[in-house]
Amino acid sequence: MTERKRDRPWLMRTYAGHSTAEASNELYRRNLAKGQTGLSVAFDLPTQTGYDPDHVLARGEVGRVGVPVSHLGDMRRLFQDIPLEQMNTSMTINATAMWLLAMYQVVAEEQGADVTKLQGTTQNDIVKEYLSRGTHVFPPGPSLRLTTDMIAYTVNHIPKWNPINICSYHLQEAGATPVQEISYAMSTAIAVLDAVRDSGQVPPERMGDVVARISFFVNAGVRFVEEMCKMRAFTRIWDKVTLERYGIDNAKQRRFRYGVQVNSLGLTEAQPENNVQRIVLEMLAVTLSKDARARAVQLPAWNEALGLPRPWDQQWSLRIQQVLALESDLLEYDDIFAGSHVIEAKVDALVAECLAEIDRIQEMGGAMAAVESGYLKSQLVASHAERRARIESGEEKIVGVNVHQGTEPNPLTADLDTAIMTVDPAVEQRVVEALGDWRDRRDEPRAQEALAALKKAAAGDTNLMPATLECARAGVTTGEWAWALRDVFGEFRAPTGVSSAPVAVSAEEGSTLAAVRRKVSATAEELGCGKLRLLVGKPGLDGHSNGAEQIAVRARDAGFEVVYQGIRLTPEQIVTAAVAEDVHCVGLSILSGSHAELVPDVLERLRRAGAGDMPVIVGGIIPNADAEALRAAGVAAVFTPKDFGITEIIGRIVDEIRTAHQLDPLEVLA
């Protein structure tokens, strides 16, 4: 019997970056030495949203969820002693993708690299930012132009680079079903390809080169049979769209190319050791089927629902990949699902439903129109609400959360304060000071000339990449580049989807929601205010709005009047709105780790405004020690991912309002 040659493993990455460029560079070099075969760069929120570290909205966010890259000097230090010509680098960056790619190219040139050999990916899918992740800056039209210009530039100058990966990962995090995840991602891809085709920057005969460099970044949940079928459906639909809509005859160019990070939404704070087997199952969904196998895989760490993973935690996730690729026989076989009537039936059903939804979106005018109308966002909010309702009712079981909750003491979390990595708060001030030094040392006239040229290009219709490259070389900062484009393009606040989301849980007599409704109504009557009013606020730059939206929807359904203005607000704006709307409670949602800075600021501003007795509750990924500090500072209640019962949370909010107004406890039972 002839032994079959093993397939080459997928690229193995770890999504990483924190504190400073120097600290992240050290982490990258350590990970590469452990056998990681590609880099995946996490940028902090100011970098992602086009703010310098000294901007008011950057407060508490610098270096928290990624590395701050404010200018070319930071990019040099980030990749010091890492030969970029030999590296495959994924950069999770969207609104400022052109800027980061320009700096990456300039650093590669300084290293002496041949830029035509650079390999990697910029995420650069702005649609999913409007729908789920929230790091958008510019309106849809200008955002699509930036993406189009990048694609045209890379096809001609960096031909091995993937200038965009259509990102459905965050759609699933925001509640998307498999049909929605495929349909919305494909609709985005159609919008991008149509824009490139219609721009005239790429001749028709080279559209195959464009299609060949479009990649996807997907999510894989724990329902791994369904997830694997989803990937096969993705493959089939992409082949159909690129052949029929764009006439790409070369089957190799039509190949569906994707990377994956498995689902972080399903990672639990309760019994976090169970996350390891979840991660393994989710990885199998995108590796078992050879015909739909991922090109690159990055796995979250077991403790990401607790806080920032340590290097050891990330190493554990890397070893999971290495054991599967190197010890198992997975890579020795052709597709093991070929001919399975069960798999084929599921894939056929997914394809049919997705094509129908894609057609529906095209009838609306395409993905951009469906974003601006709020259709896509409202569908996701509704789907997410339905999922949360299934968890709360016990219909959807999560081990350790709503079933099998008893547990032995966990040695991994015996000391929660050391079970995660923390970022030194002093890092932010050092980064801000270094930014000032950079501005002082640069050639100021050249920087200002570069910014003026960028604005002129933005006001016209020339490709923006050359002007952006000159900005990078001239020492322009991330915030300056983004503000120059804000001046021309304006900014965009995406629809929240809250007002149009339907009631997702039963309000029948005897239900928990019905009981909470009675509690809300009785409290409002006692206070003589008509309706209780709740302000849901997202201070800082954290764009993960799923939790805030679900609280807003459930509070509305329980009878509250809800004030929710979306993401990216300063503490000052939140307090001003709370006082102006005369709300009874302020709820703050922060998942980026900036709670220690921003929540006390909100509390102090409320006191100065004469509203110090207004209860403030906080939700997010908040370590125990931080939660204790917040309560000591005056926060009424802290909720973390283990608190999955949203209706019960609304009931707790009513209790805090009653306490603040010195009303007797009110028991309203279902």
207, 209, 229: which is closest to 218 by C-alpha? 229
Dihedral angle over CA of 490, 491, 492, 493, nearest 10: -140
3-state secondary structure of 90: strand
Angle between helices 595-608 and 571-580 (to 10 degrees): 40
CA dist., res. 135 & res. 121, Å (int): 18
CA dist., res. 173 & res. 384, Å (int): 9
For 116-158, the DSSP string reads GG-EEEE---HHHIIIII----S-HHHHHHHHHHHHHHHHHH-
Lookup: tokens for 284: 């199998």
Phi, psi angle pair for 40, to nearest 5°: -130, 110
CA dist., res. 198 & res. 461, Å (int): 13
CA dist., res. 541 & res. 129, Å (int): 13
CA 345 to chain centre: 32
CA 387 to chain centre: 19
Lookup: tokens for 338: 């070929």
Lookup: tokens for 33: 């030495």
- Inter-CA distances, 157 with 87, 161, 534, 639, Å: 17, 9, 52, 49
How many Cβ atoms are within 10 Å of 5's Cβ, its own excluded?
8
Residue 284 host element (H or E): helix 275-285
CA dist., res. 621 & res. 612, Å (int): 25
CA dist., res. 377 & res. 175, Å (int): 10
Lookup: tokens for 178: 């498999």
- Inter-CA distances, 391 with 89, 379, 663, Å: 37, 19, 32
For 510-572, the DSSP string reads TSHHHHHHHHHHHHHHHHT-SS-EEEEE-BTT----HHHHHHHHHHHHTT-EEEE--S-B-HH
Q: What are the catalytic residues?
A: 15, 169-170, 538, 542, 544
CA dist., res. 141 & res. 151, Å (int): 15
CA 297 to chain centre: 16
Lookup: tokens for 368: 């951009």
Which residues are within 8 A (CB) of 16 and not within 5 positions of it... i.e. 6 or more apart? 24, 27, 28, 31, 40, 41, 42, 314
CA dist., res. 265 & res. 435, Å (int): 35
Handedness of CA 321, 82, 92, 314 (dihedral sign): positive
368, 361, 363: which is closest to 136 by C-alpha? 368
Angle, alpha carbons 174-219-587 (nearest 5°):
25
